[in-house]
Amino acid sequence: MSATVVVGTQWGDEGKGKLTDLLAKEMDLVVRYQGGHNAGHTIVVDGRRFALQLLPSGVLYDHVTPVIGNGVVVDPGVLLSEIDTLTASGVDCSRLIVSGNAHLIMPYHQELDALTERHLGRNKLGTTKRGIGPAYADKAARVGIRVQDLLDAKIFRQKLEVVLKEKNLILAKVYNRLPISADDIAGRYLDEFAPRLAPMIGDSVGAVHQALDAGRNVLLEGAQATFLDLDHGTYPFVTSSNPVAGGACVGAGIGPRDIAAVIGIAKAYVTRVGSGPFPTELTDEVGDLLVERGGEFGTNTGRRRRTGWFDAVMIRHAARLNSLSEVALTKLDVLDTLAVLKVCVGYRVGDRVHRQLPYHQSDLHDAEPVYEELPGWQEDTSGATELHQLPAAAKEYVQFLSEQVGVGITRVGVGPGRDQFVRFAAP
């Protein structure tokens, strides 16, 4: 068998948790391949809400082995408290495998993330302040500390002392902060976290390949999204990893030929949290209505999300970058009350209309969306379970998006619940 990727096609929070959970019914392994606890993936089962940060969204099923891949950055304290919370609510997390090659988020990463943001002032990126950028920076600079280092106190200490020397200089001389003590960190990471994490630390790449070789189903769950990708997103207003489907190969340890399907996930409109360009952003009462009806507040930071009309130019580009085989559309129900819907089908920059994302980002800042208007349906869709129960105008809206994007929309979300997905077309 081969692997399926779930990837966000906008700026995050499209409903990756919900889709992953739905698909996980048929999966044996669910692997997170990048990001860290900057992610917040929500699953709602029988009215109970689970907001996962590090654990793969397949964890709610007993038959699934959840895997944290090598491409993830792990804050061990956060991971353990997430495990404790889930365990307390009756979820068995004992099958979890955490890649030994994943990098650790250290206390100085978190502190430096917040300090850098403050230093940037009004040019701040609006990060989640979870230490994600500094942890990936250390990985690239080859001074990161890996999960497997928790299993060797001597190596952990050695690496920590080398890296802390530099971090403490930066904290003191650049930011006028107190130094961080190696003993304090070692006390928590080696004495408190390591013994609990040790049984979960393992060879995630081996586990993925064993499953693939045995003909099992593997789902690779992206965090963040295409336009937050370090290489392909709206740099510098991006995260520090590669959420695009190609990142799934690196972050889980497979080659491209092992991937059979890439499911892109998009909201029926667009949201973004944090700074950066957003051509279809709405700052009027329609924007407020989307926030209100969509509950558009960060899953774990609580920040209000920016909202805007569906942008087909973005998803056309996401289709290319991820080789999308299909798209799942979420939150159609949020549009239920609107009389008119707009869809951005191109960007006007100067006297030119771009159908594909302009290469130069200044063009994106200046882009004036070219909209097509479609009639709303003004009917409640949240109870629909089958296609024929959707109002005609809702089906036309989805069909229009699908044609504009050039990829089939196979599922449509009409509510947060696990089963609130309507099959729209065959993949």
Residues designated catalytic: 13, 41
Longest dimension (CA), the chain: 66
Q: CA torsion, points 278, 367, 238, 115, in degrees to nearest 10?
A: -80
Interface residue with ligand GDP among 18, 32, 109, 167 (CB under 6 A) is: 18
End-to-end CA distance of the chain: 17
Q: Does 41 bind ligand GDP (CB under 6 A)?
A: yes
Query: In degrees to the nearest 10, what's the CA dihedral of 235, 239, 245, 251?
Result: 130
Q: Which of ligand GDP, Mg ion, ligand IMO, none lies near 126, with the C-beta cut-off 5 to 8 A by kind?
A: ligand IMO
Q: Is 330 in the site for Mg ion (CB under 5 A)?
A: no
Distance of CA 102 to the CA centre of its chain: 17
By beta-carbon proximity to ligand GDP, the closer residue of 211 and 265 is: 265
CA dihedral 388, 294, 8, 111 (to 10 degrees): -160
Q: Which does 32 bind (CB under 5 to 8 A by kind): Mg ion, ligand IMO, ligand GDP, none?
A: none
DSSP bridge pairs for 263: 6, 326
**Percent helix, strand and coil across the chain, each to the nearest 5:** 40, 20, 40
Q: Which amino acid is at 96?
A: L
Q: Which residue's CB is nearer to Mg ion, number 15 or number 76?
A: 15
Number of residues that bind Mg ion (CB under 5 A): 3
- Distance separating alpha carbons of residues 70 and 101, to the nearest angstrom: 5
Angstrom distance (rounded) from CA 426 to CA 240? 35
Q: Does 264 bind ligand GDP (CB under 6 A)?
A: no
Q: Is 14 in the site for ligand GDP (CB under 6 A)?
A: yes
- Amino acid at residue number 82: E
Q: Considering only residues 222-261, where is the footprint of Mg ion by CB under 5 A?
A: none
Residue 369 binding result from Mg ion, ligand IMO, ligand GDP, none, given CB thresholds of 5 to 8 Å by partner type: none
CB 124 within 8 A of CB 154: no
Q: For residues 278 and 310, which CB has a smaller minimum distance to ligand IMO in the complex? A: 278
> Which residues sit at the interface with ligand IMO, rule CB under 6 A?
8, 11-13, 38-41, 125-128, 130, 132-133, 223-225, 228, 237, 239-240, 273-274, 299
Determine if 37 is a binding residue for ligand GDP (CB under 6 A).
no
CB of 160 or CB of 328, closer to Mg ion: 328
Instruction: Name the residues that contact ligand GDP, by CB under 6 A.
Output: 8, 12-18, 39-42, 44, 295, 299, 330-331, 333-334, 413-416, 420
